Amino acid sequence: MSTLAEAHERLRETDGFVVESPAGDIGWVEEVWLGEEGWPRALAVRTGDGRHGLLRDEDVVAVDREKRWVVVPEEPTLLALEAPRLSASDGLVASWRATDERLAVTPRPRHLWHVPYRPAEPAPPARAKGVERPLWQGVAALLVTIAVLVALTITLAYVIARLVTGTAY
């Protein structure tokens, strides 16, 4: 039987581990939360859809360090986390706060070729920038434009001559 210290110690250094349930991936561990005694007590989890949840140590079934998995029951209890708050009362302190609201998480199904995934941070919106085309496309566009202008000029010369004199020659 494991002691309380061993139960808490298993969560140490699990940042970045995939949170895995029998139904599939739930998300990944963003950070380990320590209790007042300094022992790991909970995990901040980033779900596949980008939400943040708190997974308490008693809801963790096992930790597989070789595969970098935190194993949880099929329907784990994830508490929703509020947005981080910044406080300047005792210096600069950033903190998260768990609510009593449970997060409903849909696991990503597992397949035989399953590769554990870790969703990337959401990318900032890309700035619209001009597409730089290859040199040959620019040269081709220039030559086509010149050819069209020459054809238009010749056609216009013949049309004007025909209208003025009645013959194009």
pLDDT tens across 72-100, in order? Answer: 988 888 888 887 777 777 667 777 777 77
Residues 18 and 95 placed together within one structural domain of the fold:
yes
The end-to-end CA distance of the chain, in Å, is 108
Number of domains in the chain: 2
For the CA atoms of the chain, what is the radius of gyration? 32
Mean of pLDDT values over 152-164 = 92
* Domain CATH code at residue 18: 2.30.30.240
User: Model confidence at 112, in pLDDT bands (50, 70, 90)?
Assistant: very low
User: Model confidence at 1, in pLDDT bands (50, 70, 90)?
Assistant: very low
Can you give the pTM of this predicted structure? 0.58
Percentages of the chain per state (helix, strand, coil), in multiples of 5: 25, 30, 45
Angle at 110 between CA 6 and CA 20, to 5 degrees: 20
Instruction: State how beta strands 18-21 and 69-71 pair.
Output: parallel
Q: Using one digit for the tens of pLDDT, what is the confidence trace for 14-48?
A: 888 888 888 888 888 888 888 888 888 888 888 87
Token readout for 90 is: 């005792």
Count of CB atoms within 10 A of residue 65's CB? 11
Residues 63 and 140 placed together within one structural domain of the fold:
no
Residue 45 CA to residue 41 CA, distance in Å, equals: 13
Do the domain assignments include residue 129? no
Domain that holds residue 24: 4-102
Residue 96 CA to residue 57 CA, distance in Å, equals: 17
Predicted local distance difference test score (pLDDT) of residue 115: 54
Q: Using one digit for the tens of pLDDT, what is the confidence trace for 114-141?
A: 555 555 555 556 666 777 889 999 999 9
Q: Using one digit for the tens of pLDDT, what is the confidence trace for 141-157?
A: 999 999 999 999 999 99
